[in-house]
Structure 1
Amino acid sequence: IDGLEESGTVLLSGYKVGLVNEIHFLPDLSGRLSVQILI
């Protein structure tokens, strides 16, 4: 996902609402990500 990085800003309708805290792949080998955000 382009631009997704830890400590990155989370925007909603142009307003800063939080930060990306943690990103990791799920252990089921599906290629899906788990993204934790702090609001």
Structure 2
Amino acid sequence: MAFPGRRLLRFPLRHDLQQSERRHTALIDTLADQLKAFEGQ
């Protein structure tokens, strides 16, 4: 309650972090698949 503005900021920030985390997870999955395909050759 001491910082009402901070509470408003926290939600979009958390949403952005979740989006970028999802993007990074997808990127890592893609790289892992490519590595498996490369090792399989």
Is the TM-score greater than 0.5? no
TM-score tier by shorter-chain length is: under 0.3
- Whichever of the two has the greater Rg, that structure is 2
Instruction: Give me the TM-score of the superposition, normalised by structure 2.
Output: 0.17
Instruction: Give me the TM-score of the superposition, normalised by structure 1.
Output: 0.17
